[in-house]
A and B are shown apart, each in its own frame.
Chain A
C-alpha cells in the first residue's frame, strides 16, 4: 500500500547524482531542435548508464552500476520561489492517478492507493528546484561539456570562447550560481555533427584538431540527425523523451532575471508552494467558515498545454544509430574522462584530508573544544555565522565525502562525513554540521550500516536545519530522504513523527503531502485511527492548497475508518468536507450523497448548524440540477428530508365530505384516524356482514369487508379500488429529525396513470385530463417533530393509477438571506407482504384501480346537542341524498347499539314473537339479530335516483350510565346494476355523546296483603335528581308519567299526586304505586300520569313505548352470547318513568325529554338476609353444589302460592249472648307461578294445634292469641291456574274477646302434579283479628 516506485536506495541515489554542466553553441542547439529537443533533453533518457564503470581508489577498484548523471545547462537556474511553487503544484496536480486497492487492516476494509505518484512527482520536483548551497557539493557541477556544432564557422575558436566564458563564470564572485565543485573542473569537448545537413569531412577534420589540442579522451564527435524529418514514419522509434519532457507552466514568463542577485537571498526562502493562505489559524473541525476556497475555480490553464505537448514528436530525425551514438557518447564521457577525473580528485582530496587531520587534532580543535560548549543547538545565537571559504580544509573533507557518496562508496563517504561532522560541530558551523549529519546518516543507510546512532544523526540534522539554521527546505529534504530510510527499516512510527514535524503553516501543499505520507506510515504500523486522523488533516491541508482532488480522496479514505464508529462530530465533518470538495470538483452526485448523510438520522449538531447544512445541501443540489441540464430535468431529485415513515402510509378512498351547512351534520364517514381502532373496526365489519346478508337475502359465501381505508398492511395485500371522480387521499407521516424547521411547499402526489391506450405521469406532463392533483400549498414541520400530511388525487378516467411518490419544494428557511429552494420528491412504496411472512423486504408500487362512477349516498343529520342526560331521548332528522351520477337502491341502516336507536317514526314494529328455544339455531338467531340491528330505509319507489333526497326521522336515546358514549350507524346502499364494482357502498356515522346524570329511581316492590280480588303489588319508588349543585349543567326535572309495561301487572289508578313533581338538584320524590295482577298474552302498557298537563305526554308516548319495548324484551345483540340471554329475561315487567328536564347550561336553556326504565322484581321474601348469606356461601363452597340446587328447588317449590285473608279487622261481639263468635274469613290464594296448574290444599286441622282452652288469662296475653279454631272442613283442595286467584271461604270460631292471629292454624300445601308430594308453602302471614266484647 502506498508504496513508492523507487526503492529508498534508488531514490537516494537519484537524489544525489553527479551534476554536469553543458555549454552549447546556438548552432549546436539548432541542430538538436530539429528533433524538437534541446541538447540536454536529448541526453536525458540516456543519463543512466547501462554499463558498469569502474574507478580505483587507493588501489581498490570500485565498480559503479547504473551510474546516473545529471546534465544541466550552464545557464540553468533553479526557478524562483513563485515559479517553484507553481511547479510543485503542477507536479502534484498532474501526477497520474493511482488505483486504489482494498486492504484489510484490523477490522477495517480500506481502499488505499497502491502508490502515491503525486508524492513522488512532488518529491522529484522538490529536489530539482533546490538551490545548490555552499555547504554541500552534491549539487555543484563536477564537469562541463562544451558542445559545438560542426557547422560552426570556427569550431576551435568557439571552443576557446566557450572555455573563456566558463572561466569567467567560474571566477565570478563565489556566492553566484552556478556553483562548481572546485575551481579546476573537468572539461569535455563535443563536436556535434548533423549527418544530413553537414559535411562529415569537415566534422572529422575539426574533431582531429580538437583532439590534438585538448587530448583524445576529452573529445567526442557526436553524429546525429541521420534521418531526414520527412523520411517517413516507417521506422518509428519509441519516444523515450516524452516521459522526461514535462511542459511545465510557462516558465519563460518568470525567467525574467536569471542572473540577479536574488539568487542568494532566495536560498533562504522556503521554495515551495504557498497559495491561498488566507486563514492561518484555521481550526480543522469547524466546517462553517470554510468559504475561503469554495469559489469553485479550477485551474483551466493546464488543458491547452497538455494538448500542445501531445502534438510534438520528439526525435523524429534520429535513427537507431544516432541514439546509439548518444549512448556511446555518455558512456565514453563517463568511462574515459569522468572516472579518471574522479579518481584523481578522490586521491588529492584524501591527501589533503589526511594532512589536515594531524594539524587539526593537535592545534585547532583541541583548543576550541575547551572553549566552546559541546552541544549543537546550545548556542543558537551563532547561526550560520561561520562560512568557510570554498577551499578551506574543512570543506575538503566534505567534498571528499560527497564524491564518495555520488560514486557509490558509501562506507568511505560515511567516514568522511563523520569526521567532517565533528569538525563542524566544534566550529559551531551549524549548517555545515547539519549537512554532514544528514549525509552521514544517508551514507550509513546506503552502506547498510545503519544503526540507531545514524538515525539519530538524521534526527539531529533535521532539528539543526530547522532550528539553528532556519532552513526549512533542507530540513524538508532531509525529512523526505530520512523517512524513506526509516520506512525501509520498518521504523514507521519514527518516519511518521519526522514527517509530521515538517508540516507547518508555511506550505499547505507540503504539509498535506507529508501528512498523507505520515498517515500511510501509521497504517503500516496498524494504527488505523491515527491513519484516519492524519488523513483528515492531510485532506484539510490539501483543500487549503487548492488540491481538491486529493483532499476529497483523503477525506474519503479517512471516512472508511470513521464510518459507523459513533464519532459523530468527526463523521459530520468528513461528510461536510467531502460534500464541499466533491461539489467543487463538479462531482455533484457524491456531494449530494454526502450532504444527504448529514441530514439523515439524528444529528447532534446545533439547530443553526443543521440549518446551514440544509442550506448548503440545497445549494449543491441546485447546482447539480443546473449542471445536469434540461435533458434530465424531468425527474426531480429524491430528497433526504423530511423522512417519510413508510409504515404509516394510509390510503383513503371515498367520496368527499359535503360542505357543512348550519343545522346539518354530514355523516362522519371514515377518516385516517380510524385505522388504529381495531375493536371499532371489528364492529363495523360485523355490521357490514349483517347488512350484506340482509341485502342479499343469504349469507355471503366468503365475506370480505369493503375497505376504503388502507393501512400499509392492507395495501401490501390488496389492490385498492377507487371510483372515478372521487378523491384518493393518502396520509403520509413526515418526520423531521433535524432541529431546524423544514418548510415544504407545493406538496402533491406523483402518479402514473395508465389505461389501455396510454401511460401518463404527472412527473413529466401537466396534463389534468386523467387525474386531478391537489396541491397542498405549504407545510411547516418544526424541528424534531412529526407531521401528518394528507395529499389527494381525483381520477377522472377509468384505468390504473400508480402513486409513485410525492413531490415538494424544500426551502431552507434560514432567515431572510438567500433562501434556496429545491423541488424534490420522495418515493412511496409499500412493503409487499407475502402470505408466509409479512416482514419481507420487497416493496411494490402503490397501485390503485379506477372503476367507473358509482352511486354516492350522502347522509346528513340534523344537528343535535351532544351533551345528553342519562336516558335522554332525541329526535334526529336523517337526510339521504344520492349525490352520485348513478341510481342506488336498498338502503339499510345498522347500529351496534339497537337499544339506543329507534326507527319507530317510519316503521311499525311487527309483533313477531320468537320462541327462546329457537334462538339456539344459528339461522334463526341471525335473523333475530339482523332484525334487531338493521333497519331498511323506505325509499319513494325502490330506487333513489341521482339528486333525490329522502328524509327520515329516527330517535336516539342516551345510555343509562354516565360518561362518554357513542352511537354508531352504518348505512348501506347498493348500485342498481348488480354486477357493478363496487357492488355496494357504505356510509359510517358516529355520534359521540357526553352523557350526564339525570335521575335515579329506586323501586322496591312488595306483595300487597290486603288485596280484595286479585293479587296486588305495592311499588315504592324513590326518584332522585342526581344533578349536583356544582355541576356546570343545571337540570330541573319534571316527572311526567309512570308507566308499567308488563304481561302480568297493570297499574291501578288509585294514586294521589300533586299537580306536578318538579325535582331540583339532589331533590327526591317518593311515589307509592300499586299494581294488580292482570295476565295478558302480550305486554300491556299502563300509565299513571304524574303531571296535570297531559298534552306533551301524548305526543311522545309512541317513542317512549318503542324504547320501552326494546328494553322489555331481551334484545339479542351481536355482542351477546346466547347463554347470557336468559339472565336478561324479565318476568315481572318494566317500570317506565318519563320525564322532562330543563337543562340550563351557561345561561342557555333547553328542554329535553327522557325515559328511565326500571325493571321490577317482586320481592316476596322476608328472609333476604339469609338468602344473601347463601349467595355468598355459594361462591365459596362448590362441594355443596348439589345440595344447594336441591335446596333451591325446594325453596322454589315452597314459593308457589301466596295468600291473604280477607276479614273484618275488628269485630264486636257479645259473648254473654253467644258463647262463640263465628267470623267468616276468606282466603285468597294467588298462584305466583306462571307455568303450572297447582293443586292447593288448605289445611286447617293442624294436628299440632290443640283445642283451645278458654281461660281468662288469654285476655292479658301480650301476643295475639291463637286460641281459636277453624270451622267447617278441615282440608280444602283447590286447583289454581297459573297467576290466578282462588278464594276459599272459611269460618273461625272464637271463644272470647282478644286479638287473634288468624294465620296460626292455616297450612297451605301445594303440588303441581299428582305424584308430587305436597309442599308446605313458606308464605306465612299473621293477620290479626280483634274481637271485642260488646260491653267493654
Chain B
C-alpha cells in the first residue's frame, strides 16, 4: 500500500498530488520535491544509453528511514512518484512497477479527456479515486 502518489509535469511543477492521509500532504510534498533531484540525475545518465529501449521505471529513488520513494518517467517527461512505507514488505519491485503502469494508463486517460488542458493541474474526482484505488491496491 502506497502512502502517497504524485504526478509531476515536464517543468517539475506538481500536477497531481494525493496522499492517503490528507493532513500529511505538505510533509510528502517535501519528500517528493527532493526526490526530483534524483530523477533528474537518473535521467541525465539514462539518456546516454540507447534511447529506443528506454525503461520508464526508474526504480527506487530514495530510501528514507520511514519511506521509500519510487519513480517513473514517461516519454514526455512526466514524472510519477510513489511513496511507500518502508515497513511495507509486501510491495516489491514488481508490484511497484505494475502500480506505475496503472497510473500511467490512468494518466493517459486523463490526458485524452478533451476537457483537460495538458499542463494544468489535474482536478478530477474520478481520477483521485482511481489513484487512491491503485495506491491501496484495490484495483
| Residues of chain A at the chain B interface (Cβ within 8 Å) | 106-108, 285, 527-530, 564-570, 572, 604-606
Contacts and interface: CB of A to CB of B under 8 A. Distances in A.
A389 B40 CA distance: 51
Interface string B10-27: 011111010000010110
B29 interface: yes
Given A567-B33, A568-B25, A570-B29, 10 more contacts: A106-B11, A529-B36, A565-B11, A565-B13, A565-B14, A566-B14, A568-B29, A569-B30, A569-B33, A604-B26
Interface of B: 11-15, 17, 23, 25-26, 29-30, 33, 36-37, 40, 121
* Chain B interface SS verdict (over half): helix
A1206 B30 CA distance: 105
A566 B14 CA distance: 5
B121 A566 contact: yes
Contacts of B15: 566
Contacts of B29: 567-570
A187 to B, nearest CB: 58
A957 B40 CA distance: 79
Nearest to A572: B26
A565 B9 CA distance: 9
B12 A529 contact: yes
What are the 10 A-B residue pairs with the smallest beta carbon separation, nearest first? Answer: A565-B13, A566-B14, A569-B26, A569-B29, A529-B12, A604-B25, A566-B13, A604-B26, A107-B11, A567-B14
A564 B13 CA distance: 8
A86 to B, nearest CB: 36
B26 A566 contact: no
Secondary structure class of chain A's binding surface, majority of residues: loop
B26 A605 contact: yes
A604 B18 CA distance: 12
Nearest to A565: B13
A569 to B, nearest CB: 4
A565 B30 contact: no
Contacts of A604: 25-26
A531 to B, nearest CB: 11
17 contacts: A527-B40, A528-B11, A528-B12, A529-B12, A529-B36, A529-B40, A530-B40, A564-B13, A565-B11, A565-B12, A565-B13, A565-B14, A566-B15, A566-B17, A568-B29, A569-B30, A569-B33
Contacts of B37: 530
Among B12, B15, B29, the most chain A Cβ lie within 10 Å of the Cβ of B12
Contacts of A569: 26, 29-30, 33
A903 B55 CA distance: 87
Nearest to B15: A566
Contact of B13 (A527, A567, A605): A567
Contacts of A567: 13-14, 29, 33
A606 B23 contact: yes
Interface centre among A108, A567, A570, A606 (most CB of B within 10 A): A567
Contacts of B11: 106-108, 528, 565
B79 to A, nearest CB: 12
Contacts of A527: 40
Contacts of A528: 11-12
A343 B59 CA distance: 63
A568 B13 CA distance: 10
Contacts of B12: 528-529, 565
A529 B39 CA distance: 12
B13 A570 contact: no
A107 B11 CA distance: 8
A606 B15 CA distance: 22
Contacts of B30: 285, 569
A568 B27 CA distance: 10
Contacts of A566: 13-15, 17, 121
A565 B32 CA distance: 13
B23 to A, nearest CB: 7
Contacts of B33: 567, 569-570
Contacts of A565: 11-14
A530 B44 CA distance: 14
Given A107-B11, A530-B37, A568 B26 contact: yes
A530 B7 CA distance: 19
Q: Which of the listed residues A107, A285, A604 has the most CB atoms from chain B within 10 Å of its own CB?
A: A604
B35 to A, nearest CB: 12
B26 to A, nearest CB: 4
A529 B14 CA distance: 12
Nearest to B37: A530
A572 B13 CA distance: 15
Contacts of A107: 11
Contacts of A606: 23
A878 B106 CA distance: 66
A528 B36 CA distance: 12
Nearest to B14: A566
Contacts of A570: 29, 33
Tell which of B13, B15, B17, B23 has the most Cβ of chain A within 10 Å. B13
A785 B14 CA distance: 27
A606 B23 CA distance: 8
Q: Give the one of B11, B23, B25 with max A CB within 10 A.
A: B11
B16 to A, nearest CB: 8
Nearest to A562: B13
Nearest to B24: A604
Most chain B beta-carbon contacts within 10 A, residue among A108, A530, A566, A572: A566
Contacts of B36: 529
A933 B33 CA distance: 70
B31 to A, nearest CB: 10
A527 B41 CA distance: 12
A108 B10 CA distance: 12
Nearest to B121: A566
